[in-house]
Structure 1
Amino acid sequence: MQDRERDAEQAGGLLQSLRGLAANVIALVHTRLELLAAEVEEERLRLIELLFWGCVAVFFLSLGVLMATLFVLLLFWDTHRLLISAMFAASYLAVGVVAVLAARNRARARARLFSTSLAELEKDRTELTPR
């Protein structure tokens, strides 16, 4: 009789331990998913802000370049207007090529998405693996 009671207590203790372990795993996964969601939201806001300021910069820089080009072109209208037009076209193309190359390099060297979440999951894995 006592053996059955003791076995039942041990089985209940084991079941309780498994429930506690499952609750901890669920809490751990929940925390990691919250971290992942926060990183996604942060990245989304950063991209929206970057897009906005990029559009503002492109607009005003284009306007400034246009006005400067017109000024120089009108300044040399009587003497060298074709030469000045060709020089501006060549310089704009050169700057455009450099900008495309810089953007391509920047896109390749971007930070890894969800790096914080992945680092936390790696720490969790090393802590939970038996030694």
Structure 2
Amino acid sequence: MAADPDRGEAGGLLAALRNSAATLVATARTRIELAGNELASERIRLVRLLLFAVGALFCLGVGVLLLFALVVALNWEQRALVLGGGAALFLLGGGLLLFAALRANDRRQAFAATIAELEEDLRQLRAAAGHGKKPD
């Protein structure tokens, strides 16, 4: 029996397609694992940040109230002026902190490493397919 050259090429093509599919599945799995790791890391970081912030706010709040009560007690004759000035300071501080919180919301993009890896994979796949760069 003579070997059919078309069958050999088809078998080689089929094997190449299987290898490509296996590579794509492995790459996708790696990227999904990376996304999962980043999600877990981000969650832990946010929980720690929240706990530290709540503890710090509690301690600072109690300390400021006690200090303010001391200032009122030491200046009892001008208590209305001291209370009004303290209220103005608290409102100013609250406004500044609100402004800072709104600016802090513009943080880095979540999953930046995962997105960068997926974009690089897409670029390499397009280059391998002969498409070059993606159209804008």
Q: TM-score, normalised by structure 1?
A: 0.93
The alpha carbon displacement at 1:6 in A equals 1.9
Tell me the equivalent position of 2:70.
71
The alpha carbon displacement at 1:5 in A equals 2.2
Residue 23 of structure 1 aligns with an amino acid whose one-letter code is: A
Tell me the equivalent position of 1:122.
119
The alpha carbon displacement at 1:127 in A equals 1.3
Aligned counterparts of 1:120 and 1:15: Cα–Cα separation in 2? 28
Tell me the equivalent position of 1:84.
82
Tell me the equivalent position of 2:107.
110
- 1:69-124 CA-partner distances (Å, limit 9, x unpaired): 011000001x20100000000000000000001101111x1111111101011111
Report the aligned-residue RMSD.
1.1
Tell me the equivalent position of 1:9.
8
What percent identity do the matched residue pairs reach? 38
Residue 80 of structure 2 aligns with an amino acid whose one-letter code is: L
The answer to whether residue 88 in structure 2 is matched with residue 95 in structure 1 is no
Q: TM-score, normalised by structure 2?
A: 0.90
The answer for unaligned runs of 5 or more in structure 1 is: none
- 1:35-70 CA-partner distances (Å, limit 9, x unpaired): 000111111011100100000000000011011001
The answer to whether residue 57 in structure 2 is matched with residue 58 in structure 1 is yes
- Where 1:111 maps in the other structure, the secondary structure is coil
Tell me the equivalent position of 1:32.
31
* 4+ residue runs over 3 A deviation: none
Which shows bigger deviation, 120-129 or 18-27? 120-129
Tell me the equivalent position of 1:45.
44
